[in-house]
């Protein structure tokens, strides 16, 4: 649909909902008078109008960047208006922050590179423009062209576009260094990246931006394992800790974590502060009292985190796990995906937050902590263990965490350690089995929402779970996290999701 036609259609609906000539002073009162369904509909149409207008702004920012290239000198579009860069020009016009203006410029340049305009971003003068225009017909579209098409067609938002674009990065054929590939292999890599982008576009309406970004990084690591190992080493080399004293005598510190160190620190924080951060309910009375004391503590989460870090540093390797963390000791639990027929490793990631780790780091961790074997199918579904227990056993919880990766409620990003196991079949009323196939991980908030808000979850065999809202609203599918879907994709026989890089 044409942009202005789409805007007119959305505005017409907003007029119907809010009134033909609502004034700025009356807007709050008009919207407060709307019913719940009308308010949601109003927000949806307002967001659609904003996306339409944002497309114009993004493309305009890209054209402005092209016309403000270094070759234009002081006569460039931004420079002639007293700005150092096109982002500064956009920032002044739109009244947004520097980061938002720079994001619009980046996306605008990508749109032009993807064939969205006759203006080529690399050109710097009229002669270069003419030469570029002559060459465009023979220049193949970049791998991210589907993202540009989806953005301009309003199928994805600009934030989703950037999450997928930056998460996938560049194919090996277009990157620097010794790992770059050439020839047919390079063409295969570009095609694989294009296919991955198209898949993520189709899933964008089901995923949060954070999950899209994580899924894109997971797919990139699967498509380019050599590059994944290199990026892990690069992040490891950037690890640092420094301290300084400001003029007032206050000491400051700054830490840049590597992947494993960041995962370790996150689990320490989450294990100790889970009552303040939405973690699971405590069962025994002593733990409940500890949780209530922590929830009512006058310190901020940041202050509690600081005191926790110092406690751990003081206690060192001999820390009393029960007194510091409660019943669940902090630690990095790693999931290793292995092909049961060949024994070949497919991938490794942390249970919480699904952080990928290279094989060497996993081997080092296994030497210290050992392993628990969980057999799953290619969709990540573990085996049943029956109705012997009213509650899920620790091994079943490991299996649920392996399959679900965290809270399964749409849009929730709580990790597995923050979740509780929910029986989708009531134990007493429906004779529900304590099987992993009939259980699902939900964070404390969404578990309570389900039981007290009239929601329910169903599942047909081993298909995706379905969330049923109260009333007659249609069920909402709960597909497994995208990053996990692509991790299980390598288990034999693999579903065809994207072509190999060659």
253: enclosing H helix or E strand = strand 251-256
Q: For 212-244, write each residue's pLDDT tens digit.
A: 998 899 899 888 988 888 888 898 899 999 989
Q: For the purposes of burial, counting CB atoms within 10 Å of the CB of 384, is it exposed (0-12), middle (13-18) or buried (19 or more)?
A: middle
pLDDT at residue 289 in the model: 73
Q: What is the mean pLDDT of residues 428-445?
A: 70
Q: What is the mean pLDDT of residues 477-494?
A: 66
Question: Of the ranges 21-25, 81-85, 111-115, 486-490, which one carries the lowest mean pLDDT score?
Answer: 486-490
Q: For the purposes of burial, counting CB atoms within 10 Å of the CB of 347, is it exposed (0-12), middle (13-18) or buried (19 or more)?
A: buried
Please count the residues of the chain. 502
Cβ atoms of 252 and 244 closer than 8 Å: yes
Cβ atoms of 315 and 308 closer than 8 Å: no
pTM: 0.65
| Displacement of CA 468 from its chain's centroid (Å) | 24
Which of the four pLDDT bands, split at 50, 70 and 90, describes residue 175? very low
Q: For 252-289, write each residue's pLDDT tens digit.
A: 999 999 988 888 888 888 777 777 666 555 555 666 77
SS3 30: helix
Which of the four pLDDT bands, split at 50, 70 and 90, describes residue 177? very low
Distance CA 233, CA 381 (A): 32
Q: Which residues contact 42 (CB under 8 A, 6 or more apart)?
A: 14, 17, 18, 31, 34
pLDDT at residue 250 in the model: 87
pLDDT at residue 163 in the model: 93
User: Could you tell me which residue, 296 or 380, shows the higher pLDDT?
Assistant: 296
């Amino acid at each position: 649909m044409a942009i202005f036609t789409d805007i007119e259609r959305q505005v017409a609906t907003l007029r119907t909902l809010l009134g033909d000539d609502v004034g700025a002073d009356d807007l709050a009162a008009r919207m407060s008078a709307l019913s719940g369904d009308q308010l949601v509909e109003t927000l949806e149409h307002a967001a659609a109008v904003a996306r339409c207008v944002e497309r114009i702004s993004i493309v305009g920012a890209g054209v402005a960047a092209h016309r403000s290239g270094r070759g234009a000198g002081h006569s460039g579009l931004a420079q002639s208006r007293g700005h150092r860069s096109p982002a500064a020009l956009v920032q002044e016009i739109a009244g947004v922050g520097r980061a938002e203006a720079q994001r619009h410029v980046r996306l605008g340049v990508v749109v032009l590179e993807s064939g969205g305009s006759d203006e080529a971003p690399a050109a710097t003068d009229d002669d270069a423009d003419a030469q570029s225009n002559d060459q465009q017909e023979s220049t193949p579209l970049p791998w991210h062209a589907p993202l540009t098409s989806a953005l301009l067609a309003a199928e994805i938002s600009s934030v989703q576009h950037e999450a997928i674009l930056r998460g996938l990065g560049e194919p090996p054929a277009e990157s620097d260094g010794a790992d770059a590939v050439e020839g047919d292999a390079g063409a295969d890599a570009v095609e694989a990246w294009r296919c991955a982008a198209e898949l993520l576009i189709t899933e964008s309406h089901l995923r949060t931006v954070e999950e899209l970004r994580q899924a894109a990084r997971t797919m990139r690591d699967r498509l380019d394992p050599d590059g994944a190992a290199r990026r892990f080493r690069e992040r490891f080399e950037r690890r640092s800790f420094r301290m300084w004293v400001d003029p007032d005598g206050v000491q400051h510190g700054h830490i840049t974590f590597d992947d494993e160190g960041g995962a370790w620190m996150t689990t320490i924080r989450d294990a100790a502060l889970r009552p303040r951060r939405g973690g699971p309910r405590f069962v025994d009375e002593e733990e409940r009292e500890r949780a209530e004391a922590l929830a009512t503590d006058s310190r901020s989460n940041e202050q509690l985190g600081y005191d926790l870090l110092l406690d751990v540093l003081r206690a060192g390797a001999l820390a009393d796990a029960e007194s510091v963390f409660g019943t669940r000791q902090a630690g990095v639990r790693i999931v290793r995906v292995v092909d049961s027929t060949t024994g070949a490793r497919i991938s490794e990631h942390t249970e919480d937050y699904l952080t990928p780790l290279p094989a060497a780091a996993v081997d080092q961790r296994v030497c210290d902590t050992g392993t628990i074997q969980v057999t799953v199918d290619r969709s990540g579904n573990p085996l049943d263990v029956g109705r012997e227990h009213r509650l899920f056993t620790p091994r079943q919880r490991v299996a649920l965490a392996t399959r679900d990766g965290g809270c399964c409620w749409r849009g929730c990003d709580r990790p597995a350690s923050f979740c509780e196991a929910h029986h989708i079949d009531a134990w007493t009323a429906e004779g529900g089995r304590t099987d992993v196939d009939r259980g699902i991980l939900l964070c404390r908030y969404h578990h309570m929402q389900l039981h007290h808000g009239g929601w329910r979850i169903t599942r047909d065999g081993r298909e995706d779970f379905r969330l049923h809202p109260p009333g007659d609203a249609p069920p909402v599918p709960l597909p497994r996290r995208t990053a996990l879907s692509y991790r299980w994709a390598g288990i034999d026989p693999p579903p065809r999701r994207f072509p190999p890089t060659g």
